[in-house]
Amino acid sequence: MDTVTNAPPLVHLEKVSKTFSNGTAAIAGLDLELRCGSFTSLLGPSGCGKSTALRMIAGLTAPSTGSVTWDRGRPELGFVFQEPTLMPWRTVWGNVFLPLRLAGLTRAQAEPRIADALARVGLTGFERSYPRQLSGGMKMRVSIARALVTHPSLLLMDEPFAALDEITRSRLNDDLLSVWAAQRLTIGFVTHSVFESVFLSDRILVMAARPGRVVADIAIDAPYPRTEAFRTSEVYNHHCRIVSKALKDAMGGQHDH
């Protein structure tokens, strides 16, 4: 695990702030970096700006002040939203084809890459299905396949499994880890689930709200591959306790629910 914690940063945000046009300070004085090959989770209460931070890394939102720096140029990146965001009028194949089509590839050129991306998420055989014929979990798999089809070196995921049931979610967690291991990806993962972030990540950045900033940087020193056994292990529980504590501190005793 030392190899990851000492890996060079892929991207870093320095003294970043974001004030929306209505005057809300979503983020202030945010410093964070994603290291090459790491699985980093941004964990925090709603309104802490974790999604905004992810969107800034993706270049979808510009910081009001501060900088987003890529140490060796901006790599190819994939983004997965909380909703599957699929085109209902296209088949599974057509949806995964979209990024390649936008890049100017023909169907024939794209075919092997699409087949490969679908195989990685376990959707071989569903090429001709329409999104409405699929379950929530399968739609999310299509969304992940679409993000992987461009062979990104950075995958950004904004609470991708928040709307799924527990069983589907844990299955997708397992599959995401195998994709990550096989592709040597860097993953930035936004979540509000302590359990999910500990299971998946090698590093968790805990964020606090009003204004959004990073308040704790916790390494999860547990080896991969992480299996079902890991979910009940003492190491897992130990880290869950640490992260829960950090999250509670971050929320500063506010119990607004």
Partner 1 sequence: MTTDRAKLVQAALPILVGLLFLAGWEAFVRIEQIPVYILPGPIRIAERLWEDWDTLSDSLLVTLGVTFAALAAAVIGGGGLAILFAQSKWIEASLFPFAVILQVTPIVAIAPLILIYVPNTELALLICAWIVAFFPILSNTTLGLNSTDPNFLDLMQLYRAKRWQTLWYLRIPNAMPYFLGGLKIAGGLSLIGAVVAEFAAGTATAGTGLAYRILESSYRLDIPRMYAGLVLLSLTGILIFASFATLSWLILHRWHDSATRRER
| Shortest distance (Å) from residue 149 CB to partner 1 | 11
3-state helix, strand, coil in the chain (%, to 5): 40, 25, 35
Is-contact 65 13, C-beta < 8 A?
no
State whether the Cα torsion 147-152-156-157 is positive or negative.
positive
**What does DSSP say about strands 213-219 and 77-80: parallel, antiparallel, or unpaired?**
unpaired
Task: Name the segment binding partner 1 (CB under 8 A); options: 3-11, 86-94, 106-114, 171-179.
Answer: 86-94
Quick one: which of 44, 63, 66, 131 contacts partner 1 (CB under 8 A)?
A: 131
* CB atoms inside a 10 Å sphere around CB 162: 14
Quick one: which of 87, 135, 227, 248 contacts partner 1 (CB under 8 A)?
A: 87
Upstream peptide bond of 225 is cis (omega within 30 degrees of 0):
yes
State whether the Cα torsion 59-201-16-253 is positive or negative.
positive
Task: Name the segment binding partner 1 (CB under 8 A); options: 63-71, 98-106, 185-193, 209-217.
Answer: 98-106
In the sheet where 25-35 sits, what is the strand order? Answer: 25-35, 9-19, 65-70
| Shortest distance (Å) from residue 26 CB to partner 1 | 17
- 73 forms part of the interface with partner 1 (CB under 8 A): no
| Shortest distance (Å) from residue 187 CB to partner 1 | 16
- 135 forms part of the interface with partner 1 (CB under 8 A): no
- 58 forms part of the interface with partner 1 (CB under 8 A): yes
| Shortest distance (Å) from residue 230 CB to partner 1 | 32
Residues that bind partner 1 (CB under 8 A): 55, 58-60, 77, 79, 81, 83, 85, 87-89, 98-99, 101-103, 130-132, 150
